[in-house]
Structure 1
Amino acid sequence: MTGTKDRILAAGAELFRQGGYAGTGVKQIVEAAGAPFGSLYHFFPGGKEQLGEEVVRSSGMQYIALFDLFVKPEAGLVDCIEAFFAAGVTSLLETDYVEGCPIATVALEVATTNETLRQATADVFTAWIDAGTERLEKFGLPRESARTLTITLITSLEGAFVLARSMRSTEPMAVAGTAVVDVARRLLAELG
């Protein structure tokens, strides 16, 4: 059985992904977690800000697993990138465009207003870039090229989620995926 703190973190992640940090109240979170109200402050004495930071950090680290899931050198680089964006389309359709990335959602809201959460989102994005760079190097790309492609992939995927959710269309995800594949092909061609 999942502990109360884990349920609160999971509920916070889900609600932040759907409604953002500012649009989610602590009462909503504890209700969604099936937890007593006081338990939030027991586990997160810093209140919503501490909960938000822990949600960002724990959710963000879970997303690193996507690199292991989708980036497999035996599959080929282009196929791996296409799989990333296909999964994005699936997520959008299965959630009726409600769910996006909780890290990006929080980052957009707090980048200029909350240093603790800004730093947490920056740390997560940096970890994603480092993890992606490491995995993309396995395709024979030099470190700098692997980092460039990782940043291109992450920014394109995140931007595609924003546009797709707003437009209620998977077109931005398809266009972004094609653009990242083009960058990957160019970098692979440079290897000779």
Structure 2
Amino acid sequence: MAIKGNLTKARLTESMLQLIQTSGYSGTGLNAVIEHAGAPKGSVYFHFPDGKEGLGVAAVELAAKQFEALIAEAAVSAGSAAEAARTAIEVLAAIVSESNFRLGCPVSVVTLEMGAESERLRKACAAAFESWIAPTSALLEAGGLDAGEARSLATVVVSTIEGAVIVSRAMQSTQPLFSAADVVAALINQRCNTVGGTR
């Protein structure tokens, strides 16, 4: 029974995440989530006693894990921090394009819609962004930057990617993402090479 319950909870969370991406947080009702997940009607409040807000937090946390895994995979396959950033952005560009520009970053959606309305959701979004900035910062440190500069540049990289996803969806073009990939990779190479050249 516990396994079945966990599967239902996971389905509800995944459905909430997908619907936030296409319809926004405010535009996603619990009935739509239940229908999308093919879950029993009482299952939302059983697994998420605090309702939509709790489900929204779970969806943001799932999105954080998915992108964190993408960063980790890119880091393993790439030969440098710049290549890892480019690879991650190219994967995102493919996801956005293949969805016909309907899918974006659910964390930015929830931040923009609910950041001023729900402190719990705002904190979940902040934690999600931190979970992407921290490993990016670690990659940059491995590339030769000191902790402070790596953290600052990682924040810029994640912020640039977030903005590029939004602009790509608005323009229905992956060009903003590929332009971001070029600029981010050049910036990382410049900073890491500068530091390497001074040692």
TM-score tier (shorter): over 0.9
Question: Residue 9 of structure 2 aligns with which residue?
Answer: 5
Question: Residue 39 of structure 2 aligns with which residue?
Answer: 35
Question: Residue 121 of structure 2 aligns with which residue?
Answer: 117
Quote how far apart the aligned CAs of 1:32 are: 0.6
**Structure 2: runs of 5+ lacking an equivalent:** none
Matches within 5 A, 1:81-120: 81-120=85-124
Secondary structure at the residue paired with 1:18?
A: helix
Quote how far apart the aligned CAs of 1:39 are: 0.6
Question: Residue 161 of structure 2 aligns with which residue?
Answer: 157
Q: Give identity over the alignment, percent.
A: 32
Instruction: Verify the 8 A CA contact 1:160 1:173 in the aligned structure 2.
Output: yes
TM-score by length of 1: 0.93
**Structure 1: runs of 5+ lacking an equivalent:** none
Residue 81 of structure 2 is aligned with which of 77, 81, 91? 77
Partner Cα separation in structure 1 for residue 51 and residue 89 of structure 2: 35
Partner Cα separation in structure 2 for residue 80 and residue 17 of structure 1: 25
Instruction: Verify the 8 A CA contact 1:153 1:180 in the aligned structure 2.
Output: yes
Question: Residue 55 of structure 1 aligns with which residue?
Answer: 59
Residue 20 of structure 2 is aligned with which of 6, 12, 16? 16
Instruction: Verify the 8 A CA contact 2:75 2:139 in the aligned structure 1.
Output: yes
Letter in 2 for 1:41: Y
Instruction: Verify the 8 A CA contact 1:157 1:176 in the aligned structure 2.
Output: yes
Partner Cα separation in structure 2 for residue 18 and residue 95 of structure 1: 10
Quote how far apart the aligned CAs of 1:177 are: 1.4
Letter in 1 for 2:126: A
Secondary structure at the residue paired with 2:148?
A: helix
Quote how far apart the aligned CAs of 1:74 are: 5.9
Partner Cα separation in structure 1 for residue 122 and residue 78 of structure 2: 37
Quote how far apart the aligned CAs of 1:158 are: 0.7
Partner Cα separation in structure 2 for residue 18 and residue 69 of structure 1: 25
Quote how far apart the aligned CAs of 1:164 are: 0.5
Question: Residue 152 of structure 2 aligns with which residue?
Answer: 148
Quote how far apart the aligned CAs of 1:73 are: 8.1
Quote how far apart the aligned CAs of 1:77 are: 2.7
Residues 54 and 11 of structure 1: CA distance in aligned 2, closer, same or farther (over 3 Å) = same
Secondary structure at the residue paired with 2:103?
A: coil
Quote how far apart the aligned CAs of 1:136 are: 2.5
Residues 54 and 87 of structure 1: CA distance in aligned 2, closer, same or farther (over 3 Å) = same
Residues 158 and 74 of structure 1: CA distance in aligned 2, closer, same or farther (over 3 Å) = closer
Partner Cα separation in structure 2 for residue 137 and residue 165 of structure 1: 32
What is the CA RMSD across the aligned residues, in angstroms?
Answer: 1.7
Residue 129 of structure 1 is aligned with which of 121, 128, 133? 133
Q: Deviations over 1:120-147 (max 9, x none)?
A: 1011112221222123322222212221
Instruction: Verify the 8 A CA contact 1:92 1:99 in the aligned structure 2.
Output: yes
Letter in 2 for 1:98: R
